[in-house]
Amino acid sequence: MISYLILAPIFLLSIAIAGIVSDKHFVVVLLGVELVFIASLILLGYFFSSAAGPNPSGVALFISIWTVASAEVITLIAFYIYMKANGISFDISKLSKLKG
């Protein structure tokens, strides 16, 4: 029997997808990606808390997701500081002006 907690990652993922698709601000889109990571962590925690004992595959996946989320935030901050310093718009439909 799956508990109601599985609704949390479903709702969070759907909200994040909706935000990523509908919003045009660069930072907010990447905050949506962070929400996707949080949703995947909740789902992972739910399934691996059902395991009989300590689980190395669960630990590996947790560390993977945390590291990827950290890498994404580092990239976000680097691009944010660069774009702010150069007066580049945060509208993702205008990001093609970055090239050249």
Partner 1 sequence: MIAIELILVLITACFGIAVFLERKLIRAVIYLAFAAISSALIFLYLGQAFIAMLQILVFVGGLSTYLIVAVATEEKSRKMPSNLSFAVFAVVSALILFQLTYSSASPSTSPADFVSSAQQAFSSYYALFYICVLLLFASALGSVLVLKRFTKGSRQ
Q: Which of residues 41-70 bind partner 1 (CB under 8 A)?
A: 41-42, 45-52, 55-58, 60-64, 66-70
Q: Which of residues 14-33 bind partner 1 (CB under 8 A)?
A: 14-19, 21-25, 27-28, 31-32
72 binds partner 1 (CB under 8 A): yes
User: Binding partner 1 by CB under 8 A: which of 4, 93, 96, 100?
Assistant: 4
Which residues is 91 bridged to in the sheet? 25
The DSSP 8-state label assigned to residue 25 in this structure reads: B
Spatial distance between the Cα atoms of 33 and 9, rounded to a whole number of angstroms = 13
* Tokens 């935030």, located at residue: 73
Phi, psi of 91, rounded to the nearest 5 degrees: -75, 120
6 binds partner 1 (CB under 8 A): yes
